[in-house]
Structure 1
Amino acid sequence: MYDDNGAPIPRRIRLTDEAEELRYLGLELQTEHDAFVSRGRSPWRGLSGHDPYDDVPDDEFGERQWEDWHDGMYDEDDPERPRRRRPSGREFDIAPPVAGEVTVTVDPVIAAAFAARQAEAQAGPTWLVDGGQVTVEGSFKIWRGACGQCAEHFEQRRPASQRRKWRTTCGDDCATVLDRAKARERMRARRSDAA
């Protein structure tokens, strides 16, 4: 359930008859027999166990909610911000906690050991292929090696599901030069066989 501004409305708890009977049975056991009764899944309501909003009728509950939303629009230091005066006897028995910034510090030795374990866990299997080395990183295969023509190091990347040969040259120019050299070698071999 949402209000006009899209914010969720805190719903009031309405218990079934069976849950009400169990609650009163628990209260009776606590007060008359000094027994410890676990609250189970019911919300914790402070040390005294009494929620002051239980006594507030539905109309006043909705009005308070609207006032809280309306007051939140104003800046805290704004002199025109309305000051709501609540009737006495309806305040929380425990002040809500103050939220502040949380700073987490980790020992550098522990952080370094954890980073090393993470890197080791993420590094996949590695194997050698003609002209380079293939490593699996996540869902990708990465080939690293030297170009078969100019001997410059480069890498290729492709999805791990693909199974095909890796290029042995770093670009189209080197591939063209290598293809011409292989064609010359083939022709020399043919000529020597024919002679």
Structure 2
Amino acid sequence: MYSGSAGVYAMADSPWSRAIRLAFILNLVIYMVGFVAGFTSPNANMLESALKSFSGIENLPLFHRYVLIAVNNIALAFILVVSSSIVIPGLAIIAYNGYVLGTLTALWLHVDQPIWRLLMLILPHGIIELTALFYTSSIGLSIAIILMSNKKREGIIERALASLPIAVYLLLLAAAVEVLLTPRLASSLI
């Protein structure tokens, strides 16, 4: 039993696990920097441009909305894996997403809307979605960290690929929450 516990601990503290944890924290910090930048210096035109890609989505049938949101987020997740393995492009995507939410928050408060309404519209799906996106960016950053270090490199692509289903499942769940719960919350907040 003791050796089994030690084996689990050794697996949890592998170079891959340490790299994922470090990268996840870095993603969170970069996202918060983007959020603060957007909140302190909001750009309404940029926000309008970012939101324009989702215009008309509310007119789609429920299943089509779900598929559109899920596919969009899963595509972003795969882009994050690849771009984060190059480091700067992935971190720029994370910062941009933080900037968009910071801008939205600043403009929301500027028109005297209560913050709790925004939180009710974003948090239920956003916590799941951001966790998955930070995780996929962390997969890419971990590839970069391990390749740049003198750590054991074999099997890194297999580990990255094995990690992706977790993010996909989270994004499918986030899309379901966004399509099923968020509209109900929005209508109850009016």
TM interval, short-chain normalised = under 0.3
Structure with the higher strand share, 1 or 2: 1
| Higher RCO (CA 8 Å, separation ≥ 6 residues) | 2
Structure with the higher helix share, 1 or 2: 2
